[in-house]
Amino acid sequence: MRKTAADPDPVNHPKHYTEHPSGIECIQITEHMGFNLGNAVKYIWRADLKGNAIEDLEKARWYLDREIARRKGGAA
């Protein structure tokens, strides 16, 4: 069966990647950031789109704490 543009694409464009009200995919923003900050933004961006906002916000905090430790010169 041939894939059409209307078919879901769970690898390249999962539903929670494209549901943000802005219409922008998170990667368009985060690819201009470092790893820790990009991941923190990613989890904040999609927190209400995947079903477990608290878990995603805790993941974002983990990456922020890691970035703060890195900038202070300590290990995360």
Cβ–Cβ contacts within 10 Å for residue 73, how many?
Answer: 6
Q: Residue 4 above 70 pLDDT?
A: no
Identify the pLDDT of residue 57: 97
Would 13 be classed as within a structural domain?
no
The neighbouring-strand residues paired with 9 are: 13
Residue 65 lies in a domain: yes
Q: Is 62:42 a contact under the CB 8 Å cutoff?
A: no
The model's pLDDT over 11-43, given as tens digits with 9 standing for 90+, comes to 877 777 777 788 888 888 899 999 999 999 999
What's the whole-number average pLDDT of the chain? 86
What percent of the chain stands above pLDDT 70?
Answer: 87
Q: In this structure, is residue 12 part of a structural domain?
A: no
Domain count, the chain: 1
| Residues spanned by the domain of 42 | 34-76
Residue 26 in any domain: the answer is no
pLDDT confidence bin for 76, thresholds 50/70/90 = low
Query: Would you list the DSSP string of 6-20?
Result: TS-BTTTB-HHHH-S
Residues 26, 27, 33, 35: is their CA dihedral positive or negative?
positive
Its pTM stands at 0.72
